[in-house]
Amino acid sequence: MRIALIQQSIVPGDKQANYARAGTLVKKAAEQPGGRPDIIVLPELWSTGYALAELDSLASSNGEEEAEFLSELARRYGIWFAGGSVAAKTPRGITNRAQVIDRGGSLVATYDKVHLVPMLDEDKYLVAGDRRCLHTIEGVTFGLTICYDLRFGELLRKLTLEGAQALIISAEWPLARLSHWQALLKARAVENQCYVIAVNNCAMGDVPFAGHTQMLGPDGRKLCQLEFQEEIAMADIDPEAVNRIREAVPVFRDRRPELY
């Protein structure tokens, strides 16, 4: 299974500019000479950026506007979208919602970010989700997470205990904490013995973002990585590699949860 990671330079508050950027990058990913990807992953809040104070006017009802945009691309290119999040206006309030869209353009799963960032006052503009999300795509089970969730190892471990073979982290991770991004991604891959697919914003505005979109294997090895440029990275997932690592180093068998 081939995964395309789209590192987008997101323009805060400008949905039309972000639709144009995403559309161009998706087309480029679909036409890669190495073969069309099965799944495309976009960053966190790819259509609006971190314009939190403007989300009341920018957010679409249940994220339907963005889902329709991606659905058309999914049908055109015959690809899945997984993980990229949008601002979704719901009866509870605005959520930061990851979406999974199949090759036929149907929205088949969503995940609302459960950990809101207090340092950025996210709780003033967003409501937190209250459930985990696992979704199996053509035989591979993915766990969905968003940005700050990465710091909560309990959530990602729970997803792997429930069957995740790969974890998707769509993010707007700041450049100031790039070293944390690198360390935590590797730790989550190694401790959970699964693929980690991490896609970040790379815009260098008033608050510069860290870029460094990457995929890591279940042994923690980097399979692909970008730096600061708006670009696409691609790598393949082999679910049997997860099984081999877990058999060679049987962490899940040797857990003693009664002690922790």
Residue 211, domain CATH: 3.60.110.10
Nearest to 226 by CA among 48, 1, 7, 2: 7
| Beta carbons of 150 and 171 less than 8 angstroms apart | yes
| Beta carbons of 202 and 211 less than 8 angstroms apart | yes
Instruction: Respond yes or no: is residue 44 known to be catalytic.
Output: yes
Instruction: Respond yes or no: is residue 147 known to be catalytic.
Output: yes
Instruction: Respond yes or no: is residue 72 known to be catalytic.
Output: no
Mean pLDDT in residue range 72-79: 98
DSSP reduced 3-state for 14: coil
Which helix (H) or strand (E) is 168 found in, with range? Answer: strand 166-171
Q: Which candidate in 66, 89, 133, 147 is catalytic?
A: 147
Q: Which candidate in 15, 44, 66, 122 is catalytic?
A: 44
Residues 6+ apart with CB under 8 A from 235: 2, 3, 5, 215, 223, 224
For residue 34, is pLDDT > 90?
no
Tens digit of each residue's pLDDT (9 = 90 or more) over 207-241: 899 999 999 999 999 999 999 999 999 999 999 99
* Structural domain of 249: 2-259
Tens digit of each residue's pLDDT (9 = 90 or more) over 103-147: 999 999 999 999 999 999 999 999 999 999 999 999 999 999 999
pTM (two decimals): 0.97
What is the pLDDT, as a whole number, of residue 32? 87
Total structural domains within the chain: 1
What is the pLDDT, as a whole number, of residue 185? 98
Q: Which candidate in 15, 66, 89, 113 is catalytic?
A: 113
